[in-house]
């Protein structure tokens, strides 16, 4: 019976610690860089994100408006 309790305790510890690794605090963020903000990356939108636990760039784009370049980037940032 002692071995059973010990084994059960170890299994509970392993299970709860592995579940912790699935929890993360991620956000979906868009940035822009353009002549109006002196080409400094400026956050334009932020929202919570549940789908991924990895930092990643989802998209990057460049547009030319009146001969000047405008940049945008969307990424996932996790803590």
**Mean predicted confidence (pLDDT) in 66-74:** 97
Checking if the pLDDT of 25 tops 60, the result is yes
Distances in Å between the alpha carbon of 1 and those of 5, 8, 64? 6, 11, 73
| Residue 53 confidence (pLDDT) | 82
CB 71 within 8 Å of CB 25: no
**Predicted confidence band of residue 17 (pLDDT cuts 50, 70, 90):** very low
Checking if the pLDDT of 35 tops 90, the result is yes
């Amino acid at each position: 019976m002692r071995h059973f309790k010990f084994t059960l305790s170890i299994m509970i510890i392993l299970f709860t610690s592995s579940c912790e690794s699935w929890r993360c605090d991620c956000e979906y963020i868009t940035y822009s860089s353009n002549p109006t903000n002196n080409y400094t990356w400026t956050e334009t939108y932020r929202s919570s994100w549940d789908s991924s636990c990895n930092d990643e760039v989802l998209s990057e784009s460049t547009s030319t408006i009146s001969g000047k370049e405008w940049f945008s980037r969307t990424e996932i940032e996790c803590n």
